[in-house]
Amino acid sequence: MKPTPKPGILDISPYVGGRAHAPGVRRVFKLSSNESALGPSPAAVAAFQEAASGLDIYPEGSAKHLRDAIGEFYGLNPDRIVCGNGSDELLTMLANAYLRVGDEVLFSEHAFLVYKIATLANSAVPVVVKEPKLRVDVDAMLAAVTPKTRLVYLANPNNPTGSYLSVEDVRRLHAGLRSDILLIIDAAYAEYVKRNDYEAGIELVSQFDNVVMTRTFSKIFGLAGLRVGWAFCPAAVADVLNRVRGPFNVSVPGQRAAAAALHDREHNDKSAAHNEKWKTWLTENIRALGLRVDDSVCNFVLIHFRDAAEAKAADEFTTARGIILRPVGAYGLHDCLRLTVGGEEANRETLAALADFVKTRK
Ligand X SMILES: Cc1ncc(COP(=O)(O)O)c(C=O)c1O
How many residues lie near ligand X (CB under 6 A)? 13
* 201 forms part of the interface with ligand X (CB under 6 A): no
The phi, psi pair for 352, rounded to 5°, reads: -65, -40
Which of residues 48, 112, 153, 230 is near ligand X by CB under 6 A? 112
Query: Scanning residues 310 to 349, which ones bind ligand X (CB under 6 A)?
Result: none
One character per residue 67-106, x = contact with ligand X (rule: CB under 6 A): -------------------xxx------------------
Q: Which is nearer to ligand X, 221 or 357 (CB)?
A: 221
Task: Indicate which single residue of 22, 29, 30, 34 sits in contact with ligand X (rule: CB under 6 A).
Answer: 34
* β-pairing verdict for 323-324 and 81-84: unpaired
Q: Is 218 or 268 the residue whose CB approaches ligand X more closely? A: 218
Task: Give just the sign of the alpha carbon dihedral 227, 166, 194, 17.
Answer: positive
Residues 6+ apart with CB under 8 A from 147: none
d(CA 331, CA 223): 24
Q: Which of residues 208-267 bind ligand X (CB under 6 A)?
A: 216, 218, 224, 229
The answer to whether 155 and 173 are in contact (CB under 8 A) is: no
Min dist CB 227 to ligand X, Å, is 7
Three state DSSP letters for 52-106: HHHCCCCCCCCCHHHHHHHHHHHCCCHHHEEEECCHHHHHHHHHHHHCCCCCEEE
CB 192 within 8 A of CB 223: no
- Pick 29 or 112: Cβ nearer ligand X: 112
H or E element in which residue 315 lies: helix 308-320
Q: Which of 122, 159, 161, 347 binds ligand X (CB under 6 A)?
A: 159
The residues of the shown chain that bind ligand X, judged by CB under 6 A, are 34, 86-88, 112, 155, 159, 186, 188, 216, 218, 224, 229
